[in-house]
Amino acid sequence: MNSTVNSVGSPRRFLVVIAHPVPDAFVRAAGVLAVESLRSGGYEVDVIDLDADGFDPVLGAVEWASRHEGVPASLARSVDALRWATDLVLVYPTWFGGFPAMLKGWFDRVWGKGVAWDLRPGSTIPKPLLRNITRIWVVTSHGSSKVMNMAQGEAGRQFVLRTMRLTCARFCRVRWVAFYGNDSATKSDHLQYLDRVRSTFSGSMR
């Protein structure tokens, strides 16, 4: 792994994955703010904007047939970025408790065998491969309140905390930077959240 440090003396490299169809969406603004804060802190940041790139989230029949040989070469951009990063930042709106189809499709296609996990011969339990990712950050907006989300089971959050973390570094940490109650939010709530995002992604991180 590349061990060079950046201008602030930290080896952290951030991969930011953004998924939202509307260019001026609130959660997108929060994501852009996170990227700007990281860049002004001197960190290396790589951004994958799934909607702007026109990413195809559907894993098709051809890809399904060759799934045991690994992830296709056409997804090399995402695969290389994942192997390069130490921090993964997910920016998305929470729809029905979880990722939008676009981001779920990115996981379906990229988070596959040979990239995120592998199987030992005869075993049914995946072995993690993304040991380089030591921290996951989630910037997301929920329409309903925290209480309502807890009642609904927070499927997306549980996925990040449990499923995703299993394929990353052993003591991978998750920072959940979420905005709840977007359906009833006022402008000042939004500004307060943006401040929180800015302070979360500013300063030194080791």
Partner 1 sequence: MPRSLLKHPSSPLGFMGSGSFVVHRPLVVIAHPDRDSLCMTIAHAAIRGLEKGGRQVEVIDLYAESFRPTMSRAEREAYESEQPLIEPDIARHIELMQNCDALIVIYPTWNMGFPAILKGWFDRVFVPGVAFKLDEETNRIVGALGHMTRMVGITTYGSPHWLARLTTDMGRRMLSRCLRMMAPTVRTRSRWIGLYGLNRPDPALITAFIGRVEREMERL
Q: Which residues bind partner 1 (CB under 8 A)?
A: 20-23, 25, 51, 57-61, 63-65, 95-102, 104-105, 107-108, 111, 119, 122-126, 143-144, 148, 151-156, 158-159, 162-163, 166, 181, 183-184
β-sheet bridge partners, residue 173: 135
Nearer to partner 1, 46 or 51 (CB): 51
Q: Whose CA is closest to 53, among 78, 71, 72, 28?
A: 78
Nearer to partner 1, 60 or 203 (CB): 60
Nearer to partner 1, 161 or 177 (CB): 161
Give the span between the Cα atoms of 154 and 131, in whole angstroms. 25
Output the CA angle 201-185-192, nearest 5 degrees: 30
| Residue 36 to residue 178: CA distance in whole angstroms | 18
Q: How far is the CB of 35 from partner 1 (least distance, A)?
A: 21
174 vs 87: CA distance, rounded Å:
10
Of the pair 36, 63, the CB lying nearest partner 1 is at 63
What is the smallest separation between the CB atom of 2 and partner 1, expressed in angstroms? Answer: 27
Full strand arrangement of the beta sheet holding 173-179: 44-49, 13-18, 87-93, 135-141, 173-179
Tell the smallest beta-carbon distance from residue 196 to partner 1 (Å).
21
* CB 13, min distance to partner 1, A: 23
